[in-house]
A and B are shown apart, each in its own frame.
Chain A
């Protein structure tokens, strides 16, 4: 009789816990998505119901805007902040600490605070704009179809760019000083150093961070749900919120599970494409 490898025995308790906490809910969601409330098998009915709902395509489009808009600005702003924080200047430690604050604030606190700041009547943003006469009329930031999604994205960027900055800063500090010294000997400017040394050196960090940001933006619920609940008229409804509403507001757990399965597949494809595309360019150590 072959004995189980000792290593496996040691890993077994952790594996069982992982299976119970991850595999079981995933499988159970799959089962829920093809059954009805009483547990009877219904095939693709839940999928058809959920795909035929008017809000589903709108939520998908909104999700793309939300993820795309958030990522681009988070990465650009975060990298820029990291490069600035990497410079030598008096009070750098304090500035670095302050820059992290948005990331440390609990999501629900940040969302509620922003909701009040954006409020049409009581909000400080409209107060500052109309007070000195920059604008005549208060702007309905959270109710105007043109501003509500950008406002949500702005909050998400504000919340997470410090995370990008910290990660990129760590990457920057691991760049050997010799590279910069050699460049300076050759007469490189700050912009040339950034373009030819800094960015290529932190690229692996950026790729990993962007992947995390994509995943986080795809499952994000807090900010939007706390502020608009997906409204007005579903303008900020993203798919995770639609799933949440279906499950926990309408108690349609089977349809919610079906939508989760669809969304899971789409998210997997996006992430797989991303890794594949970057891996093929030979930059990521697998």
Chain B
């Protein structure tokens, strides 16, 4: 045998051994990708799952949110995807339209128990392409001490836009920034905080059928003007608004410089550790007179890739994880099932307001060019904030840019 032949035979042996390993791995064995913040709870749940289902072995792989969309897209298209992946709701629609994940209608139990908007996110072509497990919505955090010092009642925070503005002005006169909005950082920061104001006023980014940009409608412009005027006209948002994202606003709140700002429950823990002197209050996002609050629903779903080796066992695991007590244990914020909300861990007065915001949560548009549309809208907001354009002019231009993307 020549050396080359020997080498080739070894290679062949290696390859078949490798093939053997991968095929045996698929029998009763699944791979689950979950983000690092879920790791501890996932491991605990899996120990219990394993005792109930000894025939299924689950390999947990931990992901990080930074760069996760790219990593998941790559694995979905590579043909060697894991069997179960945790993804954010807005990503699911694109996977479904490109045939990268399988429908999960047969996995969902007790449909009416789920948050409606969360199911909307993961529905396409009348089928369900993911099982939502975690949902959250932004509300407003405020400094109760500032309220009392300015002669306002901390127990009755503003409910309408008019009250919000008056309160913000009073707090600003008392020496703080009354209501901080965002104007910098990642695009998403400003979308999540300003678009609900447009919705509350009856406006939207796109028309219902998704073919027309309507962000320059009178309702939308009025809402955008109200929101940006916090900085432009009334100066109740800090001077640094244009460079602030959600995190920067939290720092200003911790530094006692901001009295009210829009945020999720995820900020509460770090405020309590970094400045325990602040008496934190939470209020629902104020709405126009006679209207109701709105929020963008965020959160996570489980999907099963089309190329999963063992979709049946993955579905078994999802069914088990989606039991109210398991889902309620697993989620970092709130569970997508109403019945899971009754668990003791959600019985926290601080969380109550964020929980009450959930029914008002709505999904973001799921157009393939959404990222560029969001950028066009955000550029418009920034043009208003730097004083280059009025709300009407800026939203006219944004609508034009978004329409061009829709027509492409």
What is A's interface to B at a CB cutoff of 8 Å? 49, 52-55, 115, 119-122, 137-138, 140, 142-145, 228-229, 231-235, 245-246, 248-252
The 3 closest A-B pairs by CB, nearest first: A143-B242, A120-B240, A233-B382
Q: How many A-B residue pairs have CB under 8 A?
A: 75
Whether A143 and B383, one on each chain, are in contact in the complex, defined by CB atoms closer than 8 angstroms, is no
Q: Which residue of A lies closest to B383 (CB)?
A: A233
Question: Given A49-B408, A121-B238, A232-B382, do A250 and B369 touch, yes or no (CB 8 Å)?
Answer: yes
Residues from 342 to 383 in B contacting A, C-beta threshold 8 Å: 369, 371-372, 375, 379, 382-383
Q: Which residue of B lies closest to A48 (CB)?
A: B408
Q: Which residue of A lies closest to B380 (CB)?
A: A233
Q: Which residues of B contact A246 (CB under 8 A)?
A: 372
Q: Which residues of B contact A235 (CB under 8 A)?
A: 386
Q: Which residue of A lies closest to B69 (CB)?
A: A251
Measured between alpha carbons, how far is A59 from B314 in the docked complex, in Å?
Answer: 48
Whether A143 and B372, one on each chain, are in contact in the complex, defined by CB atoms closer than 8 angstroms, is no
Measured CB to CB, the closest approach of chain B to A152, in angstroms, equals 13
The contact of B252 among A121, A229, A248, A249, by CB within 8 Å, is A121
Q: Which residue of A lies closest to B67 (CB)?
A: A248
In the assembled complex, B312 has its CB within 8 A of some CB on chain A: no
Q: Which residues of B contact A231 (CB under 8 A)?
A: 184, 242, 379, 382
Whether B257 and A121, one on each chain, are in contact in the complex, defined by CB atoms closer than 8 angstroms, is yes
Q: Which residues of A contact B400 (CB under 8 A)?
A: 54
Whether A120 and B243, one on each chain, are in contact in the complex, defined by CB atoms closer than 8 angstroms, is yes
Whether A250 and B242, one on each chain, are in contact in the complex, defined by CB atoms closer than 8 angstroms, is no
Whether A143 and B379, one on each chain, are in contact in the complex, defined by CB atoms closer than 8 angstroms, is no
Measured CB to CB, the closest approach of chain B to A17, in angstroms, equals 24
Measured between alpha carbons, how far is A119 from B388 in the docked complex, in Å?
Answer: 21
The B interface, classified by DSSP as helix, strand, loop or mixed, is: helix
Whether B386 and A145, one on each chain, are in contact in the complex, defined by CB atoms closer than 8 angstroms, is yes
Most B C-beta atoms less than 10 A away, residue of A119, A228, A250: A250
Q: Which residue of A lies closest to B177 (CB)?
A: A121
Q: A54-B401, A232-B382, A233-B379 are in contact. List 4 more A-B contacts (CB 8 A).
A: A121-B240, A143-B241, A231-B382, A249-B375
Measured between alpha carbons, how far is A150 from B369 in the docked complex, in Å?
Answer: 33
List 14 A–B pairs whose Cβ atoms lie within 8 Å, in order of A's numbering: A54-B401, A119-B240, A119-B243, A121-B240, A121-B252, A138-B239, A143-B241, A143-B386, A145-B386, A145-B388, A232-B242, A233-B382, A249-B375, A251-B371
Q: Which residue of B lies closest to A37 (CB)?
A: B368
Q: Which residues of B contact A122 (CB under 8 A)?
A: 251
Q: Which residues of B contact A232 (CB under 8 A)?
A: 183-184, 242, 382, 385-386
Measured between alpha carbons, how far is A115 from B251 in the docked complex, in Å?
Answer: 15
Measured CB to CB, the closest approach of chain B to A108, in angstroms, equals 14
Q: Which residues of A contact B11 (CB under 8 A)?
A: none
The contact of A143 among B186, B243, B251, by CB within 8 Å, is B243
Q: Which residues of B contact A248 (CB under 8 A)?
A: 70
Whether A250 and B375, one on each chain, are in contact in the complex, defined by CB atoms closer than 8 angstroms, is yes
Measured CB to CB, the closest approach of chain A to B376, in angstroms, equals 8
Measured between alpha carbons, how far is A49 from B184 in the docked complex, in Å?
Answer: 27
Measured between alpha carbons, how far is A246 from B252 in the docked complex, in Å?
Answer: 32
Q: Which residues of A contact B388 (CB under 8 A)?
A: 145, 233
In the assembled complex, B12 has its CB within 8 A of some CB on chain A: no
Whether A250 and B240, one on each chain, are in contact in the complex, defined by CB atoms closer than 8 angstroms, is no
In the assembled complex, B404 has its CB within 8 A of some CB on chain A: yes
Most A C-beta atoms less than 10 A away, residue of B70, B369, B379, B404: B379
Whether B386 and A52, one on each chain, are in contact in the complex, defined by CB atoms closer than 8 angstroms, is no
Measured CB to CB, the closest approach of chain B to A279, in angstroms, equals 42
